[in-house]
Amino acid sequence: MLKPLITRRDFLGTSAVAGAGLLLSSCSPDTAPVAPKKSSVNTLRVALIGYGAEGGVLSESLMNLMNTGEIKVVALADIWEYARKKGKNTYKASGFEVNDYENYEDLLAKEKDLQAVIVATPDFWHAPITNACLKAGLHVYCEKMMSNTIEGARSMVQTMRETGKLLQIGHQRRSNPRYVFTFNRLLHQANFCGNITAAQAQWNRAVAKDLTAPKHSEMSADQLTKYGFKDMHQFRNWRWFKGLGGGPLSDLGAHQIDIFNWWMGKAPQSVFASGGLDYYSNHDWYDNAMVVYEYPSTKGIARAFYQVQTTTSAGGGYFEQFMGDDGTIKMSEDPSLCAIYREANATGNWDDMIQKGYVREKEVVEAAKVDVRETAALAQYEIPVFFNKPPHQPHLENFFNAIRGTAKLNCAGDEAFRSEYVIHKANEAIGEQKRIVITPEEVEA
C-alpha cells in the first residue's frame, strides 16, 4: 500500500459601483492585474489531483483561466476510474484535452513540465501529496483542511519553508473581492463595527443519504485498501470518518472559523464546544457541533459562536457575522445574505461612508412616492462590490499571480495553519468535553 505520512493513514476581475472600483483595486492584497494572454510563455502548466465534488467546482474556475491562456491544466489524477473519466470528459466537453492518471505518483512521473498542482483529494491525502509535490519543485494549491491531523498540517508548512515553493490553502473567501473590500474598508478604515464584542457563524445542511456509486463503478477491495479506505462506503463518505477527514467542523466549519481568525486578527485564547454523533449510525465524526471561541479584545472577551448541523438546513444559508458596539457586518459567499447594520447611537454617518465608497444605498422602488399613512422604512445600505466570477476563481488567480511574482499569497500554509489548529482543537474540545486553552505559540507551525 502507498503510505501517507500520517498515521493510517486576482487580479480580481471586480467591478464595484461608483468609485468603489478604484478603492478596491488599491486595497486588495492582490493588486497587480495580469492581462489575459493566449497560450504564451506565461501560461502556467497545472495538474489537478482529485476530481471529486470539490475538484469539479475548482475546474469551473480553472477552465475560465484556461480560456484566457493564463494557465493550462494538462493532467488530472483520481484513484476512482469513474471520477477520472468524468473529469476528463468534462474538460473535453468544454474544449480542453487533459491527460489522466490513477494517482499523483504516476502523474508526477510522467508530467515533467508542470509548475503547479491543485490538490482536491480526501483530507488524509493532502499532506503526503502536498509534501511530495513541493519536494518535486511544484507550487501547490491545496484544498482545506490542510490535513486530518495537526502533525500533517505542520509538515506541509515545514516542507513549504524547506523547498521555498508556494503553498496556498483553499480558504477561498480570503481572496473574495467582497470579503477583501469589506475587511479593508468597512471593518478597518471605517471601523464600522466599533469594538467587536461578539461573532457568530453557521452552516447547516439538511439530512442527506450517504453517497454511493453507480453500479459497476465500484473500486476493487484491493484498490480501496491500497489507497487507505476500508470499503466503498467509506471512500465515498470519507468526510465523516476519523483518520480520513475531520467531520462537519472541518468540512464546513473550516472556511468560517478561518474568517473568525482573519477578521479578529488573531487566534482565540480558548475553545469549548459540544457536539455529538446523534443522528447517523454509520459515521465516525460528530454530526452536529456548537463551538464557542474566546478572543481577547480591548473590551474583555469577544466570544465567537459557531454552529454546524448536518441534520437540518435550518432554512438554508451560511454566513459569518461580526457584531460590535457601533455596528454589525454579516458576510457570506452568497451575496444575497450579506448585510450591514449600524447602531442608532454609532459615531459617524452613512452619508460619509457613501461618499467614501464604503457602502451604497439600496435602490428603493418607487422612491418618488410617499405614503403618509405608514411610517417610512429606514434607508438600507449594502456593500458595493460585485464580481463576475465563480467564488473560487479569485483565490486561484491569487495563487497563479503569486507564482508569477505579481502577488502575495492570500492564504499561505503558515497563515492557514493558525485556523487549522483551532479547528482541530474544537473537535478535541467536543471529545474531551472541556474548555481547552490555546496559547499564541502553539498556533504557529
Q: Which of residues 320-379 bind another protein (CB under 8 A)?
A: 334-336
Contact 106, 136 (CB under 8 A): no
Under the criterion CB under 8 A, does residue 386 sit at the interface with another protein? yes
Contact 5, 126 (CB under 8 A): no
C-alpha cell at 66: 484556461
Nearer to another protein, 95 or 164 (CB): 95
Buried b vs exposed e over 271-292: b needs ≥16 C-beta within 10 Å?
bbbebebeebeebebbbbbbbb
Under the criterion CB under 8 A, does residue 208 sit at the interface with another protein? yes
Nearer to another protein, 267 or 338 (CB): 338
Q: Closest distance between another protein and the C-beta of residue 93, in Å?
A: 5
Nearer to another protein, 335 or 348 (CB): 335
Under the criterion CB under 8 A, does residue 388 sit at the interface with another protein? yes
Contact 85, 99 (CB under 8 A): no
DSSP 102: S
The residue count for binding another protein (CB under 8 A) is 24
SS3 of 435, please?
coil
Answer left, alpha or beta for residue 387, where phi above 0 means left and psi between -120 and 50 means alpha.
Answer: beta
User: How many Å separate Cα 56 from the centre of its chain?
Assistant: 15
Q: Of residues 14, 28, 64, 168, which one binds another protein by CB under 8 A?
A: 64
Nearer to another protein, 85 or 161 (CB): 85
Q: Of residues 18, 41, 112, 215, which one binds another protein by CB under 8 A?
A: 215
Nearer to another protein, 16 or 443 (CB): 16
Q: Of residues 18, 41, 93, 344, which one binds another protein by CB under 8 A?
A: 93
Contact 310, 273 (CB under 8 A): no
Under the criterion CB under 8 A, does residue 281 sit at the interface with another protein? no
CA distance 403 to 406: 8
Site map (CB under 8 A) of another protein, residues 14-53, x = contact: -x--------------------------------------
Nearer to another protein, 214 or 405 (CB): 214
Q: Phi first, then psi: give them for residue 265, nearest 5 degrees.
A: 75, 20
Q: Phi first, then psi: give them for residue 205, nearest 5 degrees.
A: -130, 145
Q: Of residues 27, 44, 198, 211, which one binds another protein by CB under 8 A?
A: 211
Q: Closest distance between another protein and the C-beta of residue 67, in Å?
A: 5
Buried b vs exposed e over 192-222: b needs ≥16 C-beta within 10 Å?
bbbebbbbbbbbbbeeeeeeeeeeeebbeee
Under the criterion CB under 8 A, does residue 94 sit at the interface with another protein? yes
Stretch that binds another protein, among 90-98, 115-123, 193-201, 358-366 (CB under 8 A): 90-98
Q: Of residues 7, 39, 42, 212, which one binds another protein by CB under 8 A?
A: 212
> Binding residues for another protein, per CB under 8 A?
15, 60, 63-64, 67, 90, 93-95, 208-209, 211-212, 214-216, 334-336, 386, 388-391
